[in-house]
Amino acid sequence: MADDLTARSTSTGAVAATPRDARAADLAPARSAAGAVGGQRRRRRSVSSNARKRLEIAFFVAPALALFVLFVVVPVVQAVRYSTYKWNGLGPMDDFVGLDNYTQALRDTVFTDAVMHNLIIIVLSIIIQLPLGLAIALLLNREIWGRTALRVIIFVPYVLAEVVAGVVWLMLLQPNGVIDAMFDAVGLGGLTQLWLGDPDVALGTVMVVLTWKYLGLAIILFLAGLQGVSADLYEAAQLDGASWWQVQRRITIPLLGPTIRTWGFLSIIGALQLFDMVWILTGGGPANSTMTMATYLINQGTNRSLYGYASAVAVILFVISLIIAALYQYLVLRRDNPQAPKPRKAKA
Amino acid sequence: MSAPTFTPATGRPALLEDPPPRRGKGFSGGNVAIYAIALIVVVATLGPVIYAILGGFRSNPQLAADPVGLPDPWIITNYVNVLTSPEFWRYALNSTVVALITTALVAVFGVMAAYPLARYDFKGRGLLTTVFTLGLLFPLTVAIIPLFLMIRDLNLTNSFWGVALPQAAFSLPMTIVILRPFLMALPKELEEAAQLDGTSRIGFFWRILLPLSGPAMVTVGVLAFVASWNSYLLPLLILNDPAAQTLPLGVAGFSSEHAQDTAGVLAFTSLAMIPALIFFLAMEKRIVNGLQGAVKG
């Protein structure tokens, strides 16, 4: 950047069209003087300065780039390569099968059901958490006693590891456990189920636990978004005689749009990769009724050593994620694009 | 508004001074319904956590006889057993070491890479930035099979580096996406002034840029730490040796090995929550800022 500036000041020195250029031109002599004082600094400004700059860039970028290439780029490329072989990870990888792994995966109903489960979780997450999170955030967005404590409490499930939360729920949901006891207590004992053992119920149970775990994130993000909505707007609307509900529907929720869409993206990406919670609660069972793409992948890959096949599953997972992310970007996030995102970054 | 004497001097319409008949968007008051809803949210949110903590103070017969009751009498043996077992402390220590290595790698490498991408003018800058940003598209799950085999071939199975290096690599894109705009936003005058004083660009990086980017570094570091501390999939495949396992693996292992000992599992899990809860709740604002900022860009 400094080299850039020096070059500009010499070339525009004569013209000095804009105030900024003029200032740069003013600075140039001063800087030369300063350079002359510090003897060893002069070397830097010689012909070799360009080479030095490149060396600096290399020095700064190399560690991150090496790490990134070695542990992100190479494995991702390898996944694509493995996916065209039948391979158990031990012998030489020489049984090239083309796209067989892909067709095999797409023909396996366990896998296509797993894809379906991921899609169901995406849709249910949004259908359940959006209205619930929005309602709670709107209601809590006022000066009530203990607001700070409330925000912290709401965040608790989110900060717990999925494994830890999963194990706690495993205990709650066990037959004759707390959940069953609570149903009994309110006279609904007849409704108790094998929450995680019945194929018809298990996915719903997982969904409830996921809602508990991630609703807090929605509320916290929405509350943070609500703080950006100016109180003047509410006052103005109130003066015009708008009801509370009208204010929320016409002013707050539209202004919260970007936050909601951001949350939606986070939620979808998380649901597509869902692994930990399912692995702990059900391991994908019973009868594959809670299998997700990621649990299927691990089942096939490391548990059964079908590395080529599992890699094909990983690539399919990636392609599905990419398509959904692109669609979301195109259909939903597009609305946010006109605003330059830069200024709000500065305060991060 | 029939009584003119009631009109306030500020010129505000009396409407706002009157207790509004409909629930106005008043920032002052809360009513009973709001507190009731808040209470329900708190109970639903904390219920399972509190149950786990209290359950750890009960015995298995107590839990079986009355799943919902309070400890009677309070039993501390479950907690004492966990706290005196070397396994628990080893898991916690392993988690801490892995998370610290990951965080250090991400923060140091991330800010170093973000600096030229933000403030140097060179050919290929856009391309390099795009390469890192594209990394956001690839979750670790996609690369898990090759990573697993690669770590095995590198003889890093059961080593902290085998988990920390890939985790750091997959956290880099987010880190650079957060840090680059932050570094770009620092005023150019700083750099000019530093040059006037004869500071090299590397000196500028160490002495001026790094201290100034503290807040962004903390955000990035907290996100990397959280991700590492909670991570399960990669450690599950890489850390088979119990001596190298992290807390999530320990919790999952303990709960399947002692499936009949509900009280013991609850005590173990409760204790596993504590360090995370303290750290993450203290950092709540940072985590929220990071999550919001990162995706919107």
The 10s digit of each residue's pLDDT in A294-341 is 999 999 988 888 999 999 999 999 999 999 988 998 888 777 655 444
Strand partners, A85: A96
Are A221 and B166 a contacting pair at CB < 8 A?
A: no
- Tens-place pLDDT, residues A251-260: 888 888 888 9
- In A, residues 16-75, which contact B (CB 8 Å cutoff)? 27, 30-31, 34-35, 37-38, 41, 44, 53-54, 56-57, 59-61, 63-65, 67-68, 70-72, 74-75
Residue B121: what residue type? D
Mutation target to probe the B interface, by most B beta carbons within 10 A, among A6, A87, A156, A268 is: A156
Q: Looking at residue B93, what is its pLDDT?
A: 95
Instruction: Reduce the secondary structure of chain A to three states and give it as a string.
Output: CHHHHHHHHHHHCCCCCCHHHHHHHHHHHHHHHHHHHCHHHHHHHCCCHHHHHHHHHHHHHHHHHHHHHHHHHHHHHHHHHHCCECCCCCCCCCCECCCHHHHHHHHCHHHHHHHHHHHHHHHHHHHHHHHHHHHHHHHHCCCCCCHHHHHHHHHHHHHCCHHHHHHHHHHHHCCCCHHHHHHHHCCCHHHCCCCCCCCCCHHHHHHHHHHHHHHHHHHHHHHHHHHCCCHHHHHHHHHCCCCHHHHHHHHHHHHCHHHHHHHHHHHHHHHHCCCHHHHHHCCCCCCCCCCCHHHHHHHHHHHCCCHHHHHHHHHHHHHHHHHHHHHHHHHCHHHHCCCCCHHHHCCC
Residue ranges for chain B with pLDDT beneath 50: 1-29, 296-297
With contacts defined as CB-CB under 8 Å, which chain A residues touch B108?
A: 63
Give the sign of the dihedral formed by CA A328, CA A329, CA A335, CA A340. Answer: positive
For residue A316, give the nearest of A80, A16, A26 by alpha carbon: A80
Terminal alpha carbon distance of chain B: 49
Cα B109 to Cα A66, B116, B200, distances in angstroms: 10, 12, 20
The reply to whether A90 touches chain B by the CB within 8 Å rule is no
Is residue B123 domain-shared with residue B176, that is, in the same domain? yes
**Count of CB atoms situated within 10 Å of the CB of A319:** 12
Are A60 and B44 a contacting pair at CB < 8 A?
A: no
Is residue B102 domain-shared with residue B230, that is, in the same domain? yes
Query: Is there a contact between B273 and A164 (Cβ–Cβ < 8 Å)?
Result: yes
Q: Looking at residue B149, what is its pLDDT?
A: 92
Q: Looking at residue B99, what is its pLDDT?
A: 95
- Tens-place pLDDT, residues A154-173: 889 988 999 999 999 999 99
Are A238 and B281 a contacting pair at CB < 8 A?
A: no
pLDDT at residue A344 tops 50 = no
Q: Looking at residue A74, what is its pLDDT?
A: 95
For residue B148, give the nearest of A80, A78, A271 by alpha carbon: A78
Looking at the 3D structure of chain B, how many domains does it have?
2
- Tens-place pLDDT, residues A42-71: 444 555 778 888 888 999 999 999 999 999
For residue B209, give the CATH number of its domain.
Answer: 1.10.3720.10
Asked if residue B97 is part of any domain, the answer here is yes
Q: Looking at residue B21, what is its pLDDT?
A: 40
Kindly indicate the confidence band of residue A105, based on its pLDDT and cuts at 50, 70 and 90.
very high
pLDDT at residue A277 tops 70 = yes
With contacts defined as CB-CB under 8 Å, which chain B residues touch A178?
A: 51, 67-68
Query: Is there a contact between B201 and A55 (Cβ–Cβ < 8 Å)?
Result: no
With contacts defined as CB-CB under 8 Å, which chain B residues touch A4?
A: 121
Mutation target to probe the B interface, by most B beta carbons within 10 A, among A68, A78, A85, A273 is: A68
Kindly indicate the confidence band of residue A138, based on its pLDDT and cuts at 50, 70 and 90.
confident
- Residue B186 CA, distance from chain mean position: 26
Q: Looking at residue A301, what is its pLDDT?
A: 86
pLDDT at residue A40 tops 80 = no
Asked if residue B16 is part of any domain, the answer here is no
Is residue B60 domain-shared with residue B141, that is, in the same domain? no
The reply to whether A327 touches chain B by the CB within 8 Å rule is no
- Which residue would you say has higher pLDDT here, A27 or A147? A147
Asked if residue B197 is part of any domain, the answer here is yes
Is residue B186 domain-shared with residue B65, that is, in the same domain? no
Are B149 and A89 a contacting pair at CB < 8 A?
A: yes
Is residue B59 domain-shared with residue B94, that is, in the same domain? no
**Radius of gyration of chain B measured on its C-alpha atoms:** 27
The reply to whether A171 touches chain B by the CB within 8 Å rule is yes
Residue of A nearest to B230 (CA): A161
Are A302 and B237 a contacting pair at CB < 8 A?
A: yes
Query: What distance in Å separates the CA atoms of residue A314 and residue A283, rounded to the nearest whole number?
Result: 18
Terminal alpha carbon distance of chain A: 23
By Cβ distance, the residue of B172, B216, B232 closest to A348 is B216
Is residue B66 domain-shared with residue B166, that is, in the same domain? no
Are B68 and A37 a contacting pair at CB < 8 A?
A: no
Å between B269 CA and nearest CA of chain A = 6
Asked if residue B6 is part of any domain, the answer here is no
Asked if residue B18 is part of any domain, the answer here is no
Asked if residue B236 is part of any domain, the answer here is yes
By Cβ distance, the residue of A70, A224, A258 closest to B288 is A224
The reply to whether A264 touches chain B by the CB within 8 Å rule is no
Å between A22 CA and nearest CA of chain B = 15
Domain-ending residue, one of B40, B75, B110: B75
In order of start, what are the domains of chain A with their CATH numbers? 2-46 (no CATH), 109-336 (1.10.3720.10)
Are A322 and B137 a contacting pair at CB < 8 A?
A: yes
For residue B132, give the nearest of B151, B117, B115 by alpha carbon: B117
Is residue B54 domain-shared with residue B192, that is, in the same domain? no
Query: Is there a contact between A313 and A111 (Cβ–Cβ < 8 Å)?
Result: yes
Is residue B47 domain-shared with residue B91, that is, in the same domain? no
Sequence-distant (≥ 6) Cβ neighbours of residue B65 within 8 angstroms: none
Domain-ending residue, one of B44, B75, B106: B75
Query: Is there a contact between B279 and A161 (Cβ–Cβ < 8 Å)?
Result: no
Is residue B135 domain-shared with residue B270, that is, in the same domain? yes
**Count of CB atoms situated within 10 Å of the CB of B246:** 31
Place of tokens 């730490």: B225
Are A31 and B196 a contacting pair at CB < 8 A?
A: yes
Are A301 and B41 a contacting pair at CB < 8 A?
A: no
By Cβ distance, the residue of A53, A82, A136 closest to B146 is A82
By Cβ distance, the residue of B67, B146, B251 closest to A163 is B251
Q: Is the peptide bond before B86 cis (omega within 30 degrees of 0)?
A: no
Residue of A nearest to B28 (CA): A143
Q: What is the DSSP string of B70-82?
A: PPSS---HHHHHH
Å between A200 CA and nearest CA of chain B = 24
By Cβ distance, the residue of A34, A167, A258 closest to B265 is A167
The CB-side HSE value for B89 (13 A sphere, CA atoms) comes to 6
Å between B182 CA and nearest CA of chain A = 5
Residue A246: what residue type? Q
Are B265 and A171 a contacting pair at CB < 8 A?
A: yes
**Count of CB atoms situated within 10 Å of the CB of A3:** 16
Kindly indicate the confidence band of residue A1, based on its pLDDT and cuts at 50, 70 and 90.
very low
Q: What is the DSSP string of B224-288?
A: HHHHHHH--HHHHHH--SGGG--HHHHHHHHHHHTTT-HHHHHHHHHHHHHHHHHHHHHTHHHHH
By Cβ distance, the residue of B26, B35, B142 closest to A317 is B142
Is residue B284 domain-shared with residue B254, that is, in the same domain? yes
Is residue B64 domain-shared with residue B211, that is, in the same domain? no
Å between B208 CA and nearest CA of chain A = 15
Is residue B140 domain-shared with residue B262, that is, in the same domain? yes
Are B122 and A57 a contacting pair at CB < 8 A?
A: yes
Q: What is the mean pLDDT of chain A?
A: 82
Q: Looking at residue B293, what is its pLDDT?
A: 62
Query: What distance in Å separates the CA atoms of residue B227 and residue B106, rounded to the nearest whole number?
Result: 12
Q: Looking at residue B5, what is its pLDDT?
A: 36
Residue range of the domain that includes B65: 29-75
Asked if residue B14 is part of any domain, the answer here is no
With contacts defined as CB-CB under 8 Å, which chain A residues touch B269?
A: 164, 167-168, 171
Kindly indicate the confidence band of residue A14, based on its pLDDT and cuts at 50, 70 and 90.
very low
Are A160 and B277 a contacting pair at CB < 8 A?
A: yes
